[in-house]
């Protein structure tokens, strides 16, 4: 058993934790975890003061924070009102992340609708730029926006698309790689072999540079898929579903990148701990 170099933590409030947000980091440290994604998926409602206290406690307990922005975002919507509301939600996510010191702001970019993918990406880049520029001009300069690889074929967010968005946005963009989503989107064709994962990491690094993968912001769980891709997230112990965490962590080891692994399993922190254990067995 070796030393696992990655960070692990839950997507949102741990299921076994009862209490205030500010006390979560100490709880995570006590069970052996050191990352957390704050879930603002239904809207960014946190107040500045609470975000700052939470961020302070996270730093004191060596818990690296990220923030997941609202689901109601569609930068490629044909409705101008929806696009403007989406830009606003990304701005609010960046602002809250600056307050709490969250390094990555995870965003689902939106849907192709009737557009061809390249037109949808063009609109997405325009929206991200607006949100970033607004955040910077208000002094919220810390966090990186982090478009996520998505699980459904209707959603913007193949690996190539996420890289393309980040290339246009420059240094303040880092990808969120969700291996379950990539597996679901390709209907289990990819993320079967260590080499599948290595190729994707190397593609990201060769296009976006070392910073984008130091650490590589990562989501993991097992997943069920159908014709259109993602259906439901599952726990690591459910043998019916993939991908295998071993495959992913072996690839990180081989390439030599470190990751922040956020568990999106139904049993959040418990699977984060199982991932950590699998990692220790592999290193
Ligand atoms: Zn997500």
Cα of 203 from ligand 1 centre, angstroms: 21
- Where b means 16+ CB within 10 Å and e means fewer, 227-258 reads eebbeebbbbeeeebbbbbebbbbbbbebebb
Cα of 22 from ligand 1 centre, angstroms: 23
DSSP, res 152: B
pLDDT of 1 above 90: no
pLDDT digits (tens, 9 = 90+) for 147-166: 999 999 999 999 999 999 99
The span from the CA of 128 to the CA of 145, in Å, is 8
Supply the mean pLDDT for the chain.
97
Task: Spell out the alpha helix ranges (H) of the chain.
Answer: 24-31, 48-60, 80-100, 117-137, 159-169, 179-185, 194-208, 245-255, 268-282
Q: How many residues does the chain have?
A: 283
| CATH code of 275's domain | 3.20.20.150
pLDDT of 28 above 80: yes
Cα of 168 from ligand 1 centre, angstroms: 21
Q: How far apart are the first and last CA of the chain?
A: 6
Q: What does the pLDDT average to over 65-81?
A: 97
Percent of the chain scoring above 70 in pLDDT: 100
The span from the CA of 280 to the CA of 273, in Å, is 11
The span from the CA of 260 to the CA of 251, in Å, is 14
Determine the pLDDT at residue 12: 98
Residue 49 inside a domain? The answer is yes
Residue 76 inside a domain? The answer is yes
Residue 159 inside a domain? The answer is yes
Determine the pLDDT at residue 197: 97
Cα of 21 from ligand 1 centre, angstroms: 21
pLDDT digits (tens, 9 = 90+) for 120-149: 999 999 999 999 999 999 999 999 999 999
Secondary structure of residue 281 in the 3-state scheme: helix
Strand pairing class (229-234; 7-10): unpaired
Determine the pLDDT at residue 2: 81
pLDDT digits (tens, 9 = 90+) for 87-122: 999 999 999 999 999 999 999 999 999 999 999 999
Cα of 148 from ligand 1 centre, angstroms: 6
Range of the domain at 11: 7-282
The span from the CA of 268 to the CA of 233, in Å, is 11
Classify 62 in phi/psi space as left (phi over 0), alpha (psi -120 to 50) or beta. Answer: left
pLDDT digits (tens, 9 = 90+) for 34-58: 999 999 999 999 999 999 999 999 9
Residue bearing tokens 């420059």: 170
Both structure tokens of 46? 């946190």
Cα of 68 from ligand 1 centre, angstroms: 7
pLDDT of 170 above 80: yes
Cα of 136 from ligand 1 centre, angstroms: 24
Cα of 101 from ligand 1 centre, angstroms: 19
Cα 184 off chain centre by: 16
> Which pTM does this prediction carry?
0.97
Residue 1 inside a domain? The answer is no
176: which residues sit within 8 A by CB, 6+ positions away?
A: 104, 106, 146, 147, 148, 149, 162, 217, 218, 219
Cα of 108 from ligand 1 centre, angstroms: 6
pLDDT digits (tens, 9 = 90+) for 206-259: 999 999 999 999 999 999 999 999 999 999 999 999 999 999 999 999 999 999
Determine the pLDDT at residue 171: 87
Q: How many structural domains compose the chain?
A: 1
Cα of 78 from ligand 1 centre, angstroms: 22
Crossing angle of the two packed helices 245-255 and 194-208, in degrees rounded to 10? 50
């Amino acid at each position: 058993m070796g030393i696992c170099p990655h960070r692990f933590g839950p997507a949102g409030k741990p299921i076994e934790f009862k209490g205030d947000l500010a006390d979560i980091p100490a709880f995570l440290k006590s069970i052996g975890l050191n990352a957390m994604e704050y879930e603002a998926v239904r809207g960014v409602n946190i107040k500045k003061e609470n975000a700052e206290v939470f961020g302070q406690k996270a730093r004191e307990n060596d818990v690296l924070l990220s923030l997941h922005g609202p689901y109601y975002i569609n930068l490629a919507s044909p409705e101008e009102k929806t696009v403007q509301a989406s830009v606003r939600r990304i701005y609010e996510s960046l602002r809250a992340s600056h307050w709490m010191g969250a390094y990555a702001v995870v965003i689902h970019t939106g849907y192709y609708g009737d557009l061809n993918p390249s037109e949808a990406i063009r609109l997405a880049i325009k929206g991200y730029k607006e949100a970033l520029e607004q955040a910077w001009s208000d002094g919220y300069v810390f966090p990186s926006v982090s478009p996520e690889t998505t699980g459904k074929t209707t959603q913007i967010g193949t690996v190539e698309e996420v890289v393309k968005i980040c290339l246009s946005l420059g240094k303040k963009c880092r990808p969120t790689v969700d291996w379950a989503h990539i597996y679901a989107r390709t209907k289990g064709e990819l993320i079967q072999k260590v080499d599948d994962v290595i190729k994707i990491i190397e593609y990201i690094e060769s296009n976006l540079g070392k910073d984008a993968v130091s650490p590589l912001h990562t989501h993991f769980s097992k997943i069920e898929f159908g014709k259109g891709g993602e259906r439901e997230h599952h726990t690591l112990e459910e043998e019916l579903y993939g991908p295998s965490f071993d495959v992913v962590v072996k690839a990180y080891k081989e390439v030599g990148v470190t990751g922040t692994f956020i568990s999106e399993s139904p049993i959040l922190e418990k699977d984060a701990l199982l991932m950590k254990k699998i990692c220790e067995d592999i290193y």
